[in-house]
Amino acid sequence: MRLEELAGTGTGEVTGFAIDHRMVEIGNVFGAFRGSVRNGEDFIPAAVERGAVAVIARPEARVEGALHIADAEPRRRFAELAARFFAPYPEVTVAVTGTNGKTSTVEMTRQLWRMAGHRSASVGTLGVTTADDQVKTGLTTPDIVTFLHNMAGLKKLGVSHVAYEASSHGLDQYRTEGLPVRAAAFTNFSRDHLDYHGTMEAYFEAKLALFERVVDADGAAVVWSGDPKSAEVAERARRRGLRVETVGPGGSLIELVSQIPSPLGQTLQLTHAGKSHTLKLPLIGAYQAANVLTAAGLVLVTGGEWAATFAGMGRLAPVRGRLERAVITRAGAPVYVDYAHTPDAIEAAIAALRPHVEGRLITLFGAGGDRDEGKRPEMGAVAARLSDLVIVTDDNPRSEDPAAIRAEVLAGAPGAREIGGRRDAIAAAIAEARGGDIILLAGKGHETVQIIGEQTLPFDDAQVARECAA
């Protein structure tokens, strides 16, 4: 593609896009963005030396030897032009935002589409997942070049339907811009990522960008009705002109009338288009119903049929690291692994398991280092209030002192047991559990590594639990 065709100015052939000056190749367009740690404008000369034909940067940035595409918001402009370069994309794309439930919702959307006969994929925390493969990307929302390249690659593979996670970081940094998005969904909102956003208000506004900026102007919004912020999200989406449908209690598209836990899942009474339906959902946990209905809503607003969608909901498979049963101990206690790493998510995971507990609920968790410190005692307080036994251990301490992190969590859970090493803590929980007990390993979910200082070490909660139980 010629530069003048892509940007309306300049000359030369565009061969690609890059945001890392070390990855620039001859003919690339380089994005020079100001970050919290580094200023990409400092690397403009190096990018030009490597062959960049154009640089997208603020008007005041100094660019010599290449076309300067100036924009007050260079991330947005970069995404816009990169999207044109990498196109075309799958015919149907939807996005999901919210504090919790994004990963499960996009993966369940993919499964429902697949069962309806579509070649589908999900993109997010678990990586890029199709019916045939899963490729990890390392981030909930990867950088814009990787994101668009992956989307275009899925199109080439014949994938027609994609659901992706839109994280607050990704939305704030324009990492999911450019491609057509037919529908967007909101799951819920609670405290998280204040280390980045600063305030709950700023965090919420970042989420709303999905509805006010990213989704197509004639697109749809699917809103879970059971969250305190749901009405505001719906109103802001309507103000944009989107078709708004709610799912959940009192939902306009799918109403959740009742839910009753069962040994292997739950029974949901639903209403759709004025008719009642009983769904035997093969997933435990009240919040799983929210994820399933949100996924079903996305399928329906993008042309899916109710009969196929309803049948698919009854055949959904569990999502990796989301209330995943890892093992049953020799004493007969099931061990569940969940990604819950916020106060709200821990409460939801415990609430999901509580109806199945005959003895004690043992909750083991920690808090990540170099992340929102204020949520740590709140996590401890929630776990202590709702569990029969709490074990506070290490999560990913990163550059922080693990003992100091544990102390902050324990401040909210003074009666909890402290065991620093996560493997030792898991072994202790399994040794403690008796028949009728349930163990919840919260915080790391699907992750297969633990970050301690500058080391990234292999660690999979599910695998470690199986080893300790053997």
Binding-site residues for meso-2,6-diaminopimelate, in ranges, read 371, 395-398, 443, 447
Do 89 and 179 form a contact (C-beta atoms < 8 A)?
Answer: yes
Q: Given strand 92-97, what is the order of strands in its sheet?
A: 134-135, 127-130, 120-124, 161-165, 92-97, 183-186, 220-224, 243-248, 254-262, 265-272, 275-281
Which region, left, alpha or beta, applies to residue 398 given φ > 0 means left and ψ of -120 to 50 means alpha?
A: left
Exposure string over 202-240, b if 16+ CB within 10 A, otherwise e? ebbbbbbbbbeebbeeebbbbbbbbbebbeebbebbeee
- Quote the tokens at residue 411: 């401040």
In the block, residue with structure tokens 């000359």: 11
What is the distance between the alpha carbons of residues 369 and 247, in angstroms, rounded to a whole number?
A: 35
Backbone angles phi and psi of 128, in degrees to 5: -105, 115
3-state secondary structure of 182: coil
| DSSP 8-state secondary structure symbol assigned to residue 319 | P
Angle (CA) 94-98-103 rounded to 5° is 65
Q: Given strand 67-70, what is the order of strands in its sheet?
A: 16-18, 28-31, 54-57, 67-70
Is residue 291 within a helix (H) or strand (E), and if so which, with residue range? Answer: helix 286-301
Cross-strand pairs, 135: 128
Selection from 225, 224, 98, 216 nearest residue 165 by Cα: 98
Binding-site residues for ATP? 98-104
> What stretches of 157-209 show up as alpha helix (H) in DSSP?
168-172, 194-197, 200-209
Do 398 and 366 form a contact (C-beta atoms < 8 A)?
Answer: no
| DSSP 8-state secondary structure symbol assigned to residue 53 | S
One-character DSSP codes across 201-234 = HHHHHHHHHIIIIIS-TT-EEEEETTSTTHHHHH
Selection from 302, 301, 253, 255 nearest residue 279 by Cα: 255
Binding-site residues? 98-104, 140-141, 167, 173, 175, 371, 395-398, 443, 447
User: What does the CA dihedral 367, 373, 378, 379 come to, rounded to 10 degrees?
Assistant: -10
What is the distance between the alpha carbons of residues 37 and 404, in angstroms, rounded to a whole number?
A: 25
